[in-house]
Chain A
Amino acid sequence: MTDFINDLKDTFVKDDRWKYLTNGLVNTLIITFAAALIGIVLGFVVAMIRSTHDKTGKLKIGNFICRIYLTVIRGTPMVVQLLIMYFVIFATLSSKYKIIVAILSFGINSGAYVAEIVRSGIMSIDNGQFEAGSSLGLSYSKTMLYIILPQAFKNVLPALANEVIVLLKETSVAGYIGMEDLTKGGDIIRSLTYEAFLPLLAVAAIYLVMVIILTSLVSKLERRLAKNERR
């Protein structure tokens, strides 16, 4: 028992080692939420272009560009995209902007998945809703904004939340470009103490707790939205 307490002290307390975890967690959260924001904005824009093309046949060039984006992003590993962003595209950037590069990479990556989620949500709305909007003289964009998107958003909310959760876990590869995120923080402790069990367990537990919190927030939001519409 005393051994275990000594291990705990050695792993987390000595030299303020717990700070590797808390600082890492802060970075993980910053990257996750900033990237989720970029991903959702980008995803909505791409989804709008794609579904407008599917519905009206317009925006051919936009749709073509979006399809290339989706194919490339979804067809290559996240880590490779991150490395290319850091070592190729932003190679000349000072390394103190690492976090910006990480946010951009994860945001652009997430956008591709969000786009297809949102598009499926838009396409799932009955065409009668578009027709009702049109028959009232609403333009395509107003119909989209006031009638289709609110309903689509509600339908895809669980999938969207899932994407944020995936993103949170995915940011654990940020260490590849030397970001000190949560995973990297635990890894640093491991390399200092030559003891893998406790720091990695702590890292896993923290991810788990955050995912549980996110999941419960989403189900609360879902219940609030569902109040409006009992089918």
Chain B
Amino acid sequence: MNGANEKEMIVVRDLNKSFGELHILKGITTTVQKGEKVVIIGPSGSGKSTFLRCLNLLERPTSGSISLDGVGLLTLKERDVNMMRRNMGMVFQHFNLFPHLTILKNITLAPVKHKLMTEAEAIDTAEKLLEKVGLSDKRDAYPSQLSGGQKQRIAIARALAMNPEVMLFDEPTSALDPEMVGEVLQLMKELAEDGMTMIVVTHEMGFAKEVASRVMFMDDGQILEEAPPQEFFANPKNERTKLFLSKVLV
């Protein structure tokens, strides 16, 4: 079993998060293997976004432990937290592109400021990424000139520019017009095929069925059920999961 252990990328143990009186996460324990695509579903307010945001410490967990490649995250100093975040790309529901910078600069900013690449290397990488997401012609545009779907594809390219080991997606298609959803999901699918480790919070059941290696159902701050998609959608075991699926899979 040693071989399997080496592939454990993210290990979460008994994770709790409270906002004041509000207990959001209630003892989350799970493990994500390298190359896995975990799709987290569940009703609004179930804590799935909070869980995702705890993974790269955008939210500080109240208790528990998270480790990435065997390194515990909760005891890291601020500097090391920033180092850790370079390995975890994050894509937000509202894109959060930098409106004052061109698309190219949005992508090159972090690698250049981290001195991981020279300006020229970063531009080179950015151009390749723009090609990958199919937006080479938007190189010198500003975010406000893009559609929602295009913005989200740029946001993905921006995260990829840091060459992360794992990508976190926080409802990446929830703020999009329905006709834009497909292009973003398609890009995520390609990313999955490239072998990227992904943790995706989404309401897109089709995506979960097709891409996920494991579907995780959360409600009330707990993981109620997790299973490979075929099993999860065909034979949900938990009553709450059945109820949820009966409502979303009409």
Binding site for B on A (CB under 8 A): 126, 128-129, 131-132, 134-140, 142, 146-147, 150-151, 154, 228-231
Contact = CB atoms under 8 A, between A and B. Distances in A.
8 nearest CB pairs, A to B: A137-B86, A132-B96, A135-B90, A136-B110, A128-B96, A137-B85, A137-B82, A150-B100
Contacts of A150: 100
B105 to A, nearest CB: 10
Interface of B: 56, 58, 78-79, 82-86, 88-90, 92, 94, 96-100, 109-110, 113-114, 142, 144-145, 158-159, 162
A229 B102 CA distance: 9
Nearest to B82: A137
A41 B98 CA distance: 25
A151 B99 contact: yes
A138 B145 contact: no
Contacts of A142: 113
A147 B85 contact: no
A61 to B, nearest CB: 19
Nearest to A135: B90
Given A132-B92, A135-B85, A146-B109, 16 more contacts: A132-B98, A134-B82, A135-B56, A135-B89, A135-B92, A135-B159, A136-B109, A136-B110, A136-B158, A137-B85, A138-B110, A138-B114, A150-B100, A151-B100, A230-B142, A231-B144
Contacts of A146: 109, 113
Contacts of A231: 99, 144
A231 B159 CA distance: 24
18 contacts: A126-B96, A128-B92, A128-B94, A132-B96, A132-B97, A132-B98, A135-B90, A136-B85, A137-B85, A137-B110, A137-B162, A139-B82, A140-B78, A142-B113, A151-B98, A229-B142, A229-B144, A230-B144
B241 to A, nearest CB: 30
A150 B102 CA distance: 13
A229 to B, nearest CB: 5
Residue among B96, B142, B158 with max Cβ neighbours from chain A (10 Å): B96
B9 to A, nearest CB: 17
B64 to A, nearest CB: 21
Residue among B100, B114, B142, B162 with max Cβ neighbours from chain A (10 Å): B100
Contact of A136 (B86, B99, B144, B145): B86
Contacts of A128: 92, 94, 96
B58 A136 contact: no
A131 B57 CA distance: 10
B91 to A, nearest CB: 9
A147 B98 CA distance: 7
A128 to B, nearest CB: 4
A154 to B, nearest CB: 7
A146 B88 CA distance: 21
B113 A138 contact: yes
Given A135-B89, A138-B113, A228 B100 contact: yes
A142 B109 CA distance: 10
A134 B58 contact: yes
B201 to A, nearest CB: 14
Contacts of A137: 82-86, 110, 114, 162
B98 A136 contact: no
Given A137-B114, A229-B100, A131 B92 contact: yes
A164 B111 CA distance: 38
A156 B200 CA distance: 37
A135 B88 contact: yes
